[in-house]
Amino acid sequence: MSRTQMIFAGIIGLTLLVVCGAVAASLLVGGDDTTATATTETDFTVPENVSGDAVLVTIASSNTKQDWMNAAVEKFNNGGYTTADGRPIAASVSHVTSGGSKDAILAGDLQPVAWSPGDPSWVDQANEEWKAQNQTTLGLTSQACQSTVYAPLGFAMWRPMAEALGWPETPIGWNTLVELAADSEGWANPKYDVKDGLGHPEWGQFRFGHTHPQFANSGLLSMTGFVHGVVGTNGEQLTAAQVYEAEDAMRALEQVTSKYGRSSPNMLELMTTQGPSFLHAVAVPEADVVKFNLERQAELDLIMDGRGFAFIFPSGGTIWADHPYCVLDNAEWVDEAEAEAGQIFFDFLMEEEQQSLAMDSYLRPLNTAIVRREPLTLENGTDPTVSPDTITPLPSPTEEVATAVIDLFLITKRKATVIVVLDTSGSMRGERISTATTATVEFLERLNADDEVTVMQFSDSSVQLAPPSRAGDVKETLAPRIRNLIADGNTALYDAVCQATALVSDLQEEDLANGESRLYGIVLLSDGEDTVGRPTENQMFATCLPSNAEADGVKIFPIAFGEEADEAVLFRVAQVTGGALFTANTQSISSVYVAISAEQ
């Protein structure tokens, strides 16, 4: 294949992250995993003014380091680099997610010269799958992959709350959050006010969020770090058996975890738009926190004391994601000249100037002797003095450990109550109703057996297909009823929202009376505007929806299905409930449903 050819187009959506039986993240540009858009195209392009005999180094790079890699590629291409026999070298980078790019490489859809995922665990998985797939003892690379930069993980907290816990002087670990989560007094307990010793009853109970470890690399690594911190491994590799020693601690934290998802920046976005009454802390990479503090300063100035977020390195150690760089010289699509050029580009990345440049993209140089500078400062929310010498580096999870971490998460997380609301008006006829109902059935299959679910259809009015029941008990009986839905009639969108929220409210009251704590979500698929007008749009927002999102309230995830959907109204519905708007068409609807699976 020509190195100037487009490598692939239209890798659609999130698939399940394959970590020895876990699910794989998707190949989408932007953030830790994705935005609410479910499709993308990622191409390698030939830089301008490249001679015909040039060697093109194509690099598939995890999107955390997107800005740094873009700057490095531009500088490299202006540097006149050549191979040993004098051929000019040009570089082209494509920004991908780690899990999705792994799957695309193994499928032959993505054929880069070099691959740089976020963490070495992806390389281990890729090599093992490559060996099995090709019946060989050789992995994708003949040489060990080499680290490029550090992108440490930890958690972001509103700065006044972090300072109440003693940040940056006092060590704060995962155990601190577990104790705070389990304390019935919450922030009112003076022990969580190192600064003044008075407590903060005005902050209420602690509220946490993290990306979903089944769907997001940051979620898996964060929860692995959590287990290390609770079990106390001192940086040694976990065993699968040790993971389950953290069950009580993880359950305590998950009982106050009100938000999951696929994207770390989206977690910070939600904290900002909903304010400190919604979430107090989220598990995210350092780079996202510093970037958010700087780029969203105007909005953060209006919240609490206006100083944004503090990034906390867990005192028991953290995963210093080192973004390995791998020249795929054992792959049939990489020739000797390309492999040589790929190594030359890596050597360029290791030069002090490029390593220092990484800090402009909120990353940390591998060389700790390079002086930390702006933007990695306390003023911008992080401690520049921290290094792998002061905060223990934790190993990436093995496949067995990753599987155990995800299993423990599923055991301890709060179960969800999900109402799926489907537009079956006349405009949904044909391919739309067919693909929507098929994707809905697939979505139900992904629910935890102990989740609670029901499905409503709406056209002229709303109809509930079955009473809310345990998902494991009703998936099979609901499936044929969903597949046989007929599209006809008007679009009573506003009434459907009110009917669904009223149902959730009744279920919440029942759960509260029974002492049960659950997550509540509504998936709302519609392809058009309300055509009934009862209630009105204003009535819906005033009487059926909250004025502000509540951490433990119902979250609505609208799917704007097609170009005629009322995106403005659906966006407002998502915003006031702390949900998220997704856009989809008949080709992408299945992947959108997978994305929503990561939300709760």
Q: Which amino acid makes up residue 507?
A: L
d(C-alpha 166, C-alpha 204), whole Å: 18
In the sheet that 89-96 helps form, which strands lie side by side, from edge to edge? 89-96, 55-62, 114-116, 326-327
Q: Is pLDDT larger for residue 87 or for residue 48? A: 87
d(C-alpha 337, C-alpha 330), whole Å: 13
Residue 148 near residue 366, CB atoms below 8 Å:
yes
- CA 359 → CA 22, 66, 147, 150, 437, distances in Å? 33, 12, 16, 10, 47
Query: What CATH number was assigned to the domain covering residues 414-597?
Result: 3.40.50.410
- Percentage of the chain surpassing pLDDT 70? 93
Angle subtended at Cα 404 by Cα 402 and Cα 408, rounded to the nearest 5 degrees: 120
pLDDT in tens, 357-384: 999 999 999 998 899 999 999 999 999 9
d(C-alpha 552, C-alpha 180), whole Å: 17
DSSP notation for 118-161:
SSHHHHHHHHHHHHHHHT-S--S-SS--B--EEEEEEEEEEHHH
- Show the tokens assigned to 336: 């000797």
Q: Is pLDDT larger for residue 64 or for residue 40? A: 64
Q: Which amino acid makes up residue 586?
A: T
Average pLDDT over residues 22-35: 32
In sign, the C-alpha dihedral spanning 225, 230, 236, 240 is negative
Beta bridge partner(s), residue 152: 320
Strands (E), 388-528: 416-423, 452-458, 462-464, 469-470, 519-526
d(C-alpha 557, C-alpha 532), whole Å: 22
d(C-alpha 243, C-alpha 398), whole Å: 12
d(C-alpha 304, C-alpha 549), whole Å: 17
Q: Is the pLDDT of residue 392 over 50?
A: yes
Q: Which amino acid makes up residue 177?
A: L
Give me the pLDDT at residue 47, please: 83
Give me the pLDDT at residue 451, please: 95
- Percentage of the chain surpassing pLDDT 90? 82
Domain definitions of the chain by residue range: 414-597
Reported as a pLDDT band with limits 50, 70 and 90, residue 19 is very low
Contacts of 65-69 spanning 24+ positions with Cβ under 8 A: 65/116, 65/148, 65/149, 65/151, 65/323, 65/358, 65/361, 65/363, 66/95, 66/361, 67/360, 67/361, 68/149, 68/357, 68/358, 68/360, 68/361, 68/363, 69/93, 69/95, 69/116
Q: Is pLDDT larger for residue 21 or for residue 190? A: 190
d(C-alpha 198, C-alpha 17), whole Å: 45
